[in-house]
Structure 1
Amino acid sequence: MVAVNSHAPGSAEPQLAEIRDRALGATSVPIALLDATASDLPVVWVNDAFQNVTGYGLDGARDRYREIFADTGLSPARQDVVQSVELPLADGTSVTFRAYLSPVRAGTDGAVTHWVAALQDPGAAGSHQDGAAAVESERRERRSLNLIAQVSDLLMDVDDPHALREIAALLRRSVVSWAAFYLNDGGLRVADGIDGGHPPTGKGTRHGDVRGAGVPGHDAVQQLLDAELDRPVELDLTGSYGGGSASAWLTHHAAAVPGVAEGQRVLVFPLPGRRRVLGVLAVQGPEGAGLHALEPSVRTVLELTARRVGMVIDNARLYDREHRLAEALQRAMLPEQAEVDGLDVWTYYAPNSDNAQVGGDWYDVLQVSPDVVGVVIGDVVGHDVEAAASMGQLRSVVRSYIFDLTTPGPVLERVDQLIAGMRVPRPAGLVLSTLTRRDDAWRLEYSRAGHLPVLLVRAGAVTQLDAAGGPLIGFGGGPRATGAIDLQPGDVLVYYTDGLIERRDRGLRDGLDALCAVAAAVTARDAAGVGEELLSRLADHPEDDVAVVVVRVPSPLDQVERARSPRRRRWSLPSEAASIGRARHAVLRTCHAWGIEDAANAELVVSELVANAVLHGFGHVSLQLYDTGDGLRIEVEDGNPAPPVTTDGHPGRVGGFGMQIVERLADWGWRQSRGGKLVWAKVRPGSLPPSGR
């Protein structure tokens, strides 16, 4: 500007003007000064950046760019102009620049004397835009990765009853306006948790419960569930769908949810498993956006979430099916509560429900003859279907031979030979014993194959029967020893597997010492009481399967001392219909043993509680009975944390009155437990209350 303007006399202004000239010349922005007094707007000054970009200095720019800026629509009335200007360069090419033109006015009359033209290199502009786009793309990718990581964290706890609800809430907070999961269990239903193959009931309506009478139409949701479509679909909330269809049910349910925008679309993503679609993820995009309007990163997050949820559900159900199969195999091979002549016998078995594992622990109590009783306890290595199958094979072999031979050592020798030939894939340890009655006295013979010793409790002293030891079954290859001891009235034998005593924080030897100490302090005078004391002290939090058999030789003082036994019993039952009958039988037998008369009410109450646990819960069912002195307290625990509900029955089908029956016969309540819920009822035995109660 110094080249075309004069400055007033003074000491400061010439110095400042010189600095401005140097600054404009040194800037990296291409700048040219145009003479506004001439019609063709000639270039009268350029800086170094202008020359570097165009290849022309002042003289070349004045010749080449005459009248080029004159077509930009400049007028004295305008303040700033932004125009695209195509300039020929010195290398023979042409480039379109974005020109920012600002007027330079005279000091007094405001007349425009010059125009300042600042050029923006299109390459630099594109680079800036590309950089901004890259930053935004990275931000979206980071958000997407963070969301997927949070979803993965939530899916790690498959037992969380609200995992899917929390994932839907996470999606609502981040990328969509509404989201919900629906699982397909004979019809769509709202899902809060993964459920692991045990879908809860009583959680609202379910598609398929009631079929509509309308004419079936296009059902895109059903096509997703049938795997006829492998891409997400859109549902119009105001659309018309065939009566009773999955699409009609889903749109009706979604439209009734607070916060779902009416008259807009719902996007439905399948939850794929290995062989079938397990359900759907329904979302509403921002402002009801359709699939094509979703950001690619948002759609990717939704599809990955749906796939991960589907695979986790499938894995949970696959593991649960294997667990149930192994448990059914194992329980089918375990005997019921043993009843033998002349001995008091109590048995107990519970798998490690905390880790949902099933092992090869088993026991057997056999009435070989009127005067011979066989007792076996063993453990096959492993916690899976193969372990349970191996246990079944071994148990059958032992049962077969013990009826031919009553001496344990030779029986195990035969078992070794046969098991080696059968190629049973898992090693196993066991204790085989026989109790023989001679002149009203009992003699114990036993042989151990790599198993922990049986305990003999006599008058408060504990002896480990650790003689007659040998290698694991199948590894014998030689004679097996037989130990023997004469029993006295009141003697107690405790058979057990290592799950009763083994813990991560202590060794097996320390656990055995703890068991001996507890057994020595037992005050009970019946086999069930002894077993209950052992379990209450040692098996509250087992880390492995537990099998226990307690055998007690009756004593003439039993009737006098029976009152000293704890009045508590427990059973671990599989979640199957047959457990209802077992629970009723257990209550009747216990009431008889405790002298509780007229146990009809208790039988009915326990039947309803266990039935609810089997039908509406999941996991193992734990049954406990307590004699409170003025009645019988029944506790039933299952893995479903949802509370029991008193209803007036279910329309259209039998049932639904169970808790009303319990309420009529007992005081009852419930509480959350470590693994689900516990429902209790206190029954006062007697006749049924009058109908007006």
Structure 2
Amino acid sequence: MFPGATDPTDTPPGDGIPPRTRAAMADATSPAAGDGAGGPQAGIVSAATAVVSEHGEAQSASTVLPAVLSDVPVAVLLIDQKSGAVTYANTAAVEMAGNVGLPVDVDTWGASAGLTDLGGAPLARTSGPLSLVAQGLPVTGEAVRLSPARSTDEQRASDGEDAGSRLLWVTGFPLSRPGSTQALSLVVLLEVESVGGSADADAELQALRERAVVATDIAFTITDPRQADNPLVWVNPSFTRITGYSYEESVGRNCRFLQGSKTDPATIDQIRAALAAQEAVTVTVLNHRRDGTAFWNQLAISPVFDGQGELVSFVGVQSDVTERVRVEAEREASLAAEQAARQEAELARAVAEQARSDAERAQREAEEAQARLALMAEATSTLIATLDVADLLDRLATLCVPQLADWVVVTLVDEAGEVRELVCRDRERQRTDLRQFGAGHALRLPPDSPSQRSITTSRAVLVEDLPDRLDGAMAFPAAQEIARRLGAASSLSAPLVARRRTRGAITLVRSTSERPFTPDDVGLVEDLARRAALVMDNVRLYQQEHVVADTLQRSLLPDLPEVPGLEAAAHYVSASTAADVGGDFYDLLELPDGSVAMVIGDVVGHDVAAAAAMGHLRGLIRACLWDAPDPRPSTVLTRVDRLVQGLRVASLATMAYLRAVPPAEPGGTWTVQLANAGHPPLVVRSPDGQVRPVDGVTGMLVGVDVDAERTTRTLELPPGSIVLAYTDGLVESPGSDLDQGIAALVQRLAATPAGASPRDLCDAAVSGTLDGRDDVALIAVRFL
């Protein structure tokens, strides 16, 4: 449906619906039109048959189209191809033809409007543009004359024969494809310019071409809300010219594909709300063409209902108004700029002196604020660059002098409140005096000391008459004398509070009263103290966790034992930034029956918690290996899996277990049995230097299925062979799969010189670029 309305006074008797319209409505509401079998034509037919309501009244689209076409004088007709009748005319078309009852034969409507060809002959013939459109043929553009005096409308006839003729540009196209249950066509008539009395035909045609371009900016679209996501079911050629999207690229998609990152979400919400309420809406929205360029689109959407009042379609009328929006924006910006300039000029003349004073003060404040921000930025980057407390305190003192004070004292206290560390710094770097001051002052902080008061109250303490209070501020005369020699006019102390605990205080001292502390200084020093205290506490926590992690690592990753007939080496790298431990582990164990067990495993996670779970799992594996009734690796892994799930030792883990039986006689081959529980394959380096992964040994991860069965593979290894076991952190990296990582590892191992030791292989294995996101553990064993 397109905006416009028929005249309700011209409807036939009875129920008030014209016969042709009633027939069209019956077809539109039939199963063939509503069950979706007609494809895009179903929505188009519904749009055509719903131009009038049950009582012949115009739909709300009649108020929408004039808003869209406010700058484009255009008339719109809808023609039934089967009957050759005009079934719908918008307001502009009604004004053109007068009070002509619809539906009406297309030739009759043309005669009523007074349409002729450029030679003055009536259009009521099969070759006329209206007749061609009525036959389902497209008319890309043809000029016709409009003689209002020929209209059957008495009011138009009253204008007289001398009213003059007008030139129109006619375009038309079918709305339906061949085979549709109904065949409809759309006609757009655009007035080009008045030609009464003009003899310059070439000028008229040139003007016609220029004005006809405007008609191509009017796009019509139809959507079907009965289909999922309310897709487009038809677009006219103007839509393709405006957007760049062809008919095939548009139909079947929701029109949101025209939106972009700069489309106003509020406008989209307005459209969405109108569609949900089945109401007409007119908006101006920023859309994007197929080539990505943006354009302003004035869009009017009207709901279309069938004879039963059911929503069957939405019809959209679109116009490219980019130039208009740009001109309006420029005009508004120009007016706003002009008004602002006038107000600023008037204000400047009235308060010129005050403005200069304010500007100077604002500049000073801006410079001070910039200096504070620069100091905070420098403090953050400087303080976090060290993990040593003494260095941190020295950096903090350096930040304060001379920017904030002439000399500074940073005091740290222990849990009992006793001074445990003190750092001093002054403008002249008088190290001797400061060391003497620190030695005397740090022995005890009197209750009236600014530092002690700040620590006790956890608030900033400002002392403006410090010379009168030196006796109470410092316990020893030597410290008081040094303070007087350095200069002590005022002091500002701020507590070092982190995680609700006071760690100490920072006291800034200024030597002269000419530079007193301001409220801005108090806020700045408090902020600096908070940052410094948090960094200090982070250093403390890091050192504590590092000690714990180091102890845990040493207990969970033991030194490899010396086993006769073997040469072994191992390597471990943690992915945790807080602690040097993780969930990966390895082990080498000589069993009671004379065989040797080599285990590599990986518990899910890479932090202290994963390391703790790994410790439990490693102990459990050792117990299972030591007294296993069936020494086959597959049986041992199954037993470990059952114990892990039964005791809830770890959530998930991968593991590979190798059991090596020494040769019966020196120089013989080693018999190796191998089982795998979801772990990367082990790699074997032959005595001749060839390196290959041991494929074909797979099994379920530990912790997934308690009844999982795994297989055992047996290998015969000649003396001098080296077996390398590793975790997935060695071969996994972003952008590559596990096979690529294993292949790269094989290449690195094969590149080692002949006779390379297990330690050499470990070093070569980790010589590649490690991702650092996962732990890496590896163990290499040479069988002699």
TM-score between the two structures when normalised by the length of structure 2: 0.45
Shift of 1:297: 0.9
Pick which of 510-519 and 487-496 moved more: 510-519
Out of 284, 293, 309, the position equivalent to 2:509 is 284
1:238 touches 1:264 (CA, 8 Å); kept in 2? no
Unpaired stretches in structure 1, ≥5 consecutive residues: 1-120, 193-203, 555-693
Deviation at 1:456, TM superposition (A): 0.6
Asked if the contact 1:432–1:446 (Cα under 8 Å) also holds between the matched residues in 2, the reply is yes
Q: Deviations over 1:178-222 (max 9, x none)?
A: 446455577114399xxxxxxxxxxx97999x8999998546377
Is 2:375 aligned against 1:147? yes
Q: Aligned partners of 1:156 and 1:500: how far apart in 2?
A: 31
Aligned residue among 344, 357, 377 for 2:567: 344
- 2:635·2:710 contact (CA, 8 Å) conserved in 1? yes
1:488 aligns with 2:721: no
CA change 1:498–1:180 in 2 (3 A) is: farther
Identify if the C-alpha distance between structure 1 residues 425 and 444 changes in structure 2 by more than 3 Å, giving closer, same or farther: closer
Listed as ranges, the matches of 1:199-598 within 5 Å are 217-218=446-447, 220=449, 223=452, 227=456, 229-232=458-461, 261-285=486-510, 287=512, 293-352=516-575, 357-405=580-628, 406-424=631-649, 426-440=651-665, 441-458=669-686, 459-477=688-706, 478-503=708-733, 508-523=738-753, 525=755, 527-531=757-761, 533-534=763-764, 537-538=767-768, 544-554=774-784
Cα 1:358–1:182 change in 2 (3 A) is farther
Q: 8 Å contact 2:441–2:474 — kept in the other structure? A: no
Structure 2 contact 762–778 (Cα < 8 Å) conserved: no
User: 2: CA distance between counterparts of 1:189 and 1:250?
Assistant: 17
Q: Shift in Å at residue 530 of structure 1?
A: 2.9
Please tell me the residue identity of whatever aligns with 1:187. Answer: R
Task: Tell me how far 1:124 sits from its aligned partner.
Answer: 10
Alpha carbons of structure 1 residues 444 and 214: separation in structure 2 relative to 1, 3 Å: closer
- 1:559-596: CA deviations, max 9, x gaps? xxxxxxxxxxxxxxxxxxxxxxxxxxxxxxxxxxxxxx
> Shift in Å at residue 127 of structure 1?
9.1
Q: Which residue of 1 aligns with 2:90?
A: none
Between Structure 1 and Structure 2, how many residues are aligned?
415
Q: Which amino acid letter does the alignment assign opposite residue 363 of structure 1?
A: Y
Q: Percent identity?
A: 31
SS at match of 2:767: helix
Task: Please give the alpha-carbon distance, in whole angstroms, between the structure 1 residues aligned to 2:778 and 2:435.
Answer: 45
After superposition, the C-alpha distances for 1:67-105 in whole angstroms (9 at most, x for unaligned) are xxxxxxxxxxxxxxxxxxxxxxxxxxxxxxxxxxxxxxx
Question: Corresponding residue for 1:108?
Answer: none
Q: Is the 8 A contact 1:237 1:251 kept in 2?
A: no
Deviations along 1:441-495, one digit per CA (max 9) or x if unpaired, are 4221122222221111002111212332123220133112222211110000111
Measured after TM superposition, the shift of residue 506 of structure 1 is 5.7
| Distance of 2:754 and 2:679 partners within structure 1 | 26
With over 3 angstroms needed to count, the CA separation of the structure-2 counterparts of 1:278 and 1:247, relative to structure 1, is: farther
- Pairing of 1:606-685 with structure 2 (within 5 A): none
Query: Could you report, residue by residue, the CA deviation over 1:611-642 in whole angstroms, capped at 9, with x for unpaired residues?
Result: xxxxxxxxxxxxxxxxxxxxxxxxxxxxxxxx
TM-score, L = length of structure 1? 0.51
Q: Deviations over 1:484-528 (max 9, x none)?
A: 211110000111223434455765433322221122233364644
Measured in 2, the distance between the counterparts of 1:320 and 1:213 equals 25
- Pair 483,273 (structure 1): closer, same or farther in 2 beyond 3 Å: same
Quote the Cα distance in structure 1 between the aligned partners of 2:743 and 2:752: 15
Root mean square deviation, CA, Å: 4.5
Secondary structure in structure 2 of the residue aligned to 1:445: strand
Distance 2:491 2:446 in 1: 18
Contact 2:583–2:610 (CA<8 Å) still a contact in 1? yes
Q: Distance in 2 between matches of 1:439 and 1:265?
A: 89
Q: 1:128 to 1:509 in 2, by over 3 A?
A: same
Shift of 1:436: 1.8
Q: Distance in 2 between matches of 1:364 and 1:322?
A: 25
CA separation of 1:240/1:285 partners in 2, compared to 1, >3 Å: closer, same or farther? closer
CA shift, 1:139, in A, is 5.4
Structure 1 residue 377: deviation in Å? Answer: 1.4
Say which SS state the counterpart of residue 287 (structure 1) adopts: coil
Name the SS of the counterpart of 1:443 in structure 2.
strand
- The 3 A distance-change label for structure 1 pair 534 and 307 is same
Structure 2 spans left out of the alignment, 5+ residues: 1-348, 426-433
Q: Distance in 1 between matches of 2:479 and 2:581?
A: 43
C-alpha contact 2:682 2:693 (8 A) present in aligned 1: yes
- Whether contact under 8 Å (1:144, 1:301) holds in the other structure is yes
Q: Distance in 1 between matches of 2:704 and 2:477?
A: 62
* Amino acid in the other structure paired with 2:503: L
Structure 2: distance between partners of 1:365 and 1:225: 58
CA distance in 1, matches of 2:467, 2:587: 62
After superposition, give the CA deviation of every residue in 1:633-678 in whole Å (9 maximum; x if it has no partner): xxxxxxxxxxxxxxxxxxxxxxxxxxxxxxxxxxxxxxxxxxxxxx
Answer yes or no: is the 8 Å Cα contact 2:656–2:679 preserved in 1: yes
User: How far apart in 2 are the matches of 1:467 and 1:207?
Assistant: 75
Q: Cα offset for 1:398?
A: 1.3
Asked if structure 2 preserves the Cα contact closer than 8 Å seen for 1:330 and 1:392, the reply is no
Q: CA deviation at 1:549?
A: 1.1
Matched letter for residue 540 of structure 2: R
CA contact (8 A) 2:675 2:713 kept: yes
The corresponding residue for 2:151 is none
Counterpart-to-counterpart distance in 1, 2:616 and 2:670? 30
What is the alpha-carbon distance in structure 2 between the residues aligned to residue 122 and residue 175 of structure 1?
A: 40
8 A contact 2:437–2:482 mirrored in 1 = no
The separation in 2 between residues aligned to 1:480 and 1:529, in whole angstroms, is: 31
1:432 Cα deviation from its structure 2 partner: 1.7
> In 1, distance between residues paired with 2:408 and 2:775?
41
CA distance in 2: counterparts of 1:213 and 1:146, whole angstroms: 32
Please say if residues 232 and 267 of structure 1, whose CA atoms lie closer than 8 Å, have aligned partners that are also in contact: yes
Question: CA separation in 1, counterparts of 2:713 and 2:474?
Answer: 69
Change (3 A) 1:364 1:224: farther
The answer on whether the counterparts of 2:546 and 2:579 sit within 8 Å (CA) in structure 1 is: yes
Return the alpha-carbon distance in structure 2 between the equivalents of residues 443 and 482 of structure 1.
12
Match of 1:68 in 2: none
Deviation at residue 433 of structure 1 after TM alignment: 1.7
Q: Which moved more, 1:316-325 or 1:509-518?
A: 316-325
SS at match of 1:493: strand
- CA contact 2:574–2:775 (8 Å) conserved in 1: yes
- Higher-helix-fraction structure: 2
One-letter identity of the residue aligned with 1:394: L
Q: Verify the 8 A CA contact 1:147 1:301 in the aligned structure 2.
A: no
1:536 to partner: Cα distance = 6.8
Query: The residue matched to 2:597 in structure 1 has which SS?
Result: strand
1:283 deviates by 2.0
Q: Which amino acid aligns with 1:418?
A: L
Residues 301 and 433 (structure 1), Cα distance of their counterparts in 2 relative to 1, 3 Å cut: same
- CA 1:226–1:165 in structure 2 vs 1: closer, same or farther (change >3 Å)? closer
